[in-house]
Amino acid sequence: MASAKGKAKTDAAPAASADELLQHYRAMLLIRRFEERAGQLYGMGLIGGFCHLYIGQEAVVVGMQAALQPGDTVVTSYRDHGHMLATGMDPRGVMAELTGRSGGYSRGKGGSMHMFSRDKHFYGGHGIVGAQVPIGTGLAFAHRYNQKPLVSVTYLGDGAVNQGQVAESFNMAALWKLPVIYVIENNKYGMGTSVQRAAAGGELYKRGEPYGIPGMQVDGMDVVAVKEAALKATRHTRAGEGPYILEMMTYRYRGHSMSDPAKYRSKEEVSEVRTKHDPIDHVRQLLTDGGMADDNKLKALDKEIRDIIADAAEFAQASPEPDPSELWTDVLAEA
Amino acid sequence: MTIQILMPALSPTMTEGKLAKWLKKEGDQVTSGDVLAEIETDKATMEVEAVDEGVLQKILVQEGTENVAVNTPIAVLENGGAVAAKPSPTNGKHAPVSAPAPAAQVEKPAPSKTVAPPKPQSVAAEMAVGATRKMTVREALRDAMAEEMRRDERVFLMGEEVAEYQGAYKVSQGLLEEFGPRRVVDTPITEHGFSGLGVGAAFMGLKPIVEFMTFNFAMQAIDQIINSAAKTRYMSGGQMSCPIVFRGPNGAASRVAAQHSQCYASWYAHCPGLKVIAPYSAADAKGLLKAAIRDPNPVIMLEHEILYGATFDVPEDADYIVPIGRARIARPGKDVTITAFSITVRHALAAAEILAKEGIDAEVIDLRSLRPLDTETIVRSVEKTNRLVTVEEGWAFAGIGSEIAAQIMEKAFDHLDAPPARVAGADVPLPYAANLEKLALAQPDDIVRAAKSVLYRS
Ligand SMILES: Cc1ncc(C[n+]2csc(CCOP(=O)(O)OP(=O)(O)O)c2C)c(N)n1
Ligand SMILES: [Mg+2]
């Protein structure tokens, strides 16, 4: 069985071009700044309920998305802001959904965990741990049924891996050779429970082995490595070879949601990753060391991103609350 | 320019917290992402991270200060006006959120702003059971489990984050320390699996308490709850027994949207082979949980996140048990009967206060148990008031109110002077937007309107 431990940065991934690196940098920075602002708006009481931030994990969605083709679908859990921005969804619409306003992607009815965009082939935004996995498998089933050369990228957490419906999905996907890539975002914890305390055997990329699903462990803090792995998986899947599992080794800097006791890991552990393995710093370093971008260029880019986020935040606060009549719409379609 | 750092709201229901510790001091340079301070609420300890960069100019709220309301300025940051200065329209101002609860308040305010929260009735006084102590629902649940675990070796607690994390809502605080990992068991996120495992353990004579982080996630496990736990005694001709408690928060918390905000009362109450309880007060939470643990049958205990922090008088007697299947008159009255359970008892009591001002004397029945349902108490009340309003957080269709209305139709039809009215959640999945969520959930004003309608008053 072809489970492989794809090695980290040193593994001579063909050097990415300056353009490509800049695009990655921009996309990751957009997510980082967006999430920081969301955290701020939450603290101000403008966002309610749960709000699961993606800070630290940006390289995973950005690298994955860079390997996709138009029409490929994406589905994920509640930690979804980064995935939406990576698919090209409008930061204004995402932020306005966070504030529960009519300008949001779900017109204020879904909130942080529940947004969708047919246009960008993003299928949510699901709040029940593991539930998106059979759904993503079904998206793949439809791609095959429709005889389209598309893949379904289905994200799940390290905690979600243990849900029964994930094993059920792996079996069906392998049995029917469905074009689905399961991306396990191993950020080391499901809420306050470490992978070691939740998953027997560790090595989550091997979870598909009994079904014959190849798996690979990837440095999820290195956007170039992520994209390489994604290309490998999509080639396999598009060739009709069936599902693929990518275990992205990553880290969430913030609490599980906004409220988090922060007692299950040490401050040193967090700051170690932050200072030594930050995915954005890494690309910035590549850009400056390689002479691909100077300080001025990066500063200009930072400013551009800040402006986009400021605009989104402003929009999200100015957009009106949904009309009370919206309470009753969208329950069923007219038959 | 200077930026005020405000006391953040770090959870859906947080209104205030204790500023436990400053990790930066005045004059320190901070960059975005630095941990500035630690905050404690009744639920958790949390870190406040810097969003802006600059120098911490002044600390406005000293460490150790309790009951700091959300949005109170806690420090001032001097941000040299560098590129990092983010234009934020509301920065430095109080954010436009509703005023936080006063510090010394016993209960959190009822959702309707027009109504003052009613004084919780002292159940203990009503039952005359000796000395009582003020306690939150959260503490009462914990004590019930601890007492029963001390009393019976076979009782153990299992669920997600119940042990090391001390419970996602801090209900199981201290249990791991006292009982160890053999009896307080952290599970992976595998509800269907650990619920079925609990059923198997109960078949062997153990007495599991299975905690669901919320009942929304019990839908993963509902097959084991109904098909295995509820039906096996019957299918085995009485040979097998399944003494198990499934418990956790049910219903709408605050702004957590449709997949996290459903009331499952009528789902479980529908099924023979189960007992279903849904207490409001801390005394009932404790007394009913103890009864559930001692019960030889599967019991579903529906709690409510918003009630966890509410304080009530609780009897000190360690053998204080509230029998399953008995309702409680939470407020006696003669003009109209209002049935409620869990959080809606609070709304019903608030509505009764409003009605009293208009000369309407409402009787509020806290159902406490949904299966078996104490129909007798409701019938007796309706015989007196001749009018019935049912209240629940869930949907009206095939709901608890529908069942009560049907039973009253069958057993007290001749006593009714008006058709019963059902107050329930709007017939839609719960929306996230603040204004829509409020419209979707039953408020005291809705109960007042329903009570007047059955009294033919406007
Ligand atoms: C079925 C179900 N059980 C429990 C929860 C509560 N919950 C939400 S997120 C979470 C942890 C998930 O961890 P992981 O899969 O690692 O994803 P991460 O949050 O790290 O992205 C839990 C237990 C839920 N939403 N759904
Ligand atoms: Mg995780």
Q: Do residues B243 and B202 lie in contact, with contact meaning Cβ atoms separated by under 8 Å?
A: yes
Instruction: Give the residues across from B157 on adjacent strands.
Output: B184, B209
Q: How far is the CA of A195 from the centre of ligand 2 (A)?
A: 8
Q: How far is the CA of A270 from the centre of ligand 1 (A)?
A: 20
Sign of CA dihedral A80, A86, A87, A92: positive
Structure confidence at residue B40 (pLDDT): 82
Q: Which residues of A are less than 8 Å from B75 in CB distance?
A: none
The token pair at B264 is: 């499952």
Residue A157 Cβ < 6 Å to ligand 1: yes
The burial class, CB within 10 Å (0-12 / 13-18 / 19+), for B73 is middle
For A298-306, which contacts have Cβ atoms below 8 Å and span 24 or more sequence positions?
A298/A25, A299/B83, A301/A22, A301/A25, A301/A26, A301/A29, A302/A29, A302/B83, A303/B83, A304/A26, A305/A26, A305/A29, A305/A30, A305/A33, A306/A33, A306/B83, A306/B86
Structure confidence at residue A286 (pLDDT): 95
Nearest by CB to residue A50, choosing from B189, B190, B256, is B256
The burial class, CB within 10 Å (0-12 / 13-18 / 19+), for B92 is middle
Residue B64: CB atoms within 10 Å: 10
Q: Do residues B135 and B51 lie in contact, with contact meaning Cβ atoms separated by under 8 Å?
A: no
Residue A175: CB atoms within 10 Å: 12
Q: Which phi and psi angles does A189 have, rounded to 5°?
A: -140, 145
Does A160 contact B189 at a Cβ distance shorter than 8 Å?
yes
The amino acid present at B242, given as its one-letter code, is: C
pLDDT (tens digit, 0 to 9) for every residue of chain A, 335 residues total? 445 554 444 444 557 899 999 999 999 999 999 999 999 999 999 999 999 999 999 999 999 999 999 999 999 999 999 999 999 999 999 999 999 999 999 999 999 999 999 999 999 999 999 999 999 999 999 999 999 999 999 999 999 999 999 999 999 999 999 999 999 999 999 999 999 999 999 999 999 999 999 999 999 999 999 999 999 999 999 999 999 999 999 999 999 998 888 899 999 999 999 999 999 999 999 999 999 999 999 999 999 999 999 999 999 999 999 999 999 999 999 98
Question: Is the pTM above the cut of 0.95?
Answer: no
All structural domains of chain A with their residue ranges: 18-311
Nearest by CB to residue A303, choosing from B83, B257, B428, is B83
Residue B49: CB atoms within 10 Å: 21
Structure confidence at residue A11 (pLDDT): 46
**Nearest Cα residue to B47 out of B29, B20, B26:** B20
- Closest ligand to C-alpha of residue A83 is 1
B93 CA to chain A: closest CA distance, Å? Answer: 10
Question: Rounded to an integer, what distance in angstroms lies between the CA atom of residue A81 and that of residue A52?
Answer: 8
Question: What does the pLDDT look like over B68-106, one tens digit per residue?
Answer: 988 888 988 887 654 333 333 333 333 333 333 333 334
Question: Rounded to an integer, what distance in angstroms lies between the CA atom of residue A175 and that of residue A211?
Answer: 8
Structure confidence at residue B102 (pLDDT): 37
Q: Take atom 7 of ligand 1 and give the residue whose Cα is closest.
A: A129
CATH topology of domain A18-311: Rossmann fold (3.40.50)
Helix H or strand E encompassing A217: strand A215-219
Residue B216: CB atoms within 10 Å: 22
Does B255 contact A100 at a Cβ distance shorter than 8 Å?
yes
The token pair at A300 is: 């200009």
- Closest ligand to C-alpha of residue A255 is 1
Q: Which residues of A are less than 8 Å from B258 in CB distance?
A: 109-110, 114
Which residues have C-beta within 8 Å of that of residue B57, sequence separation ≥ 6? B2, B26, B27, B75, B76, B77, B78
Helix H or strand E encompassing B337: strand B336-340
Q: Which residues of A are less than 8 Å from B161 in CB distance?
A: 191-193
Which residues have C-beta within 8 Å of that of residue B107, sequence separation ≥ 6? B117, B120, B310, B311, B346
Question: What does the pLDDT look like over B277-323, one tens digit per residue?
Answer: 999 999 999 999 999 999 999 999 999 999 999 999 999 998 999 99
The Cβ-side half-sphere exposure at B373, using a 13 Å CA radius, reads 24
For the segment B196-201, the average pLDDT, to the nearest whole number, is: 98
Structure confidence at residue B103 (pLDDT): 38
Structure confidence at residue B342 (pLDDT): 98
**Nearest Cα residue to A23 out of A287, A299, A288:** A287
Rounded to the nearest 10 degrees, the angle between the axes of helix A18-43 and helix A223-238 is: 110
Question: What does the pLDDT look like over B407-445, one tens digit per residue?
Answer: 999 999 999 999 999 999 999 999 999 999 999 999 999
What is the 8-class DSSP label of residue B2? E
Structure confidence at residue A15 (pLDDT): 74
Question: Rounded to an integer, what distance in angstroms lies between the CA atom of residue A297 and that of residue B218?
Answer: 52
For the segment B232-240, the average pLDDT, to the nearest whole number, is: 97
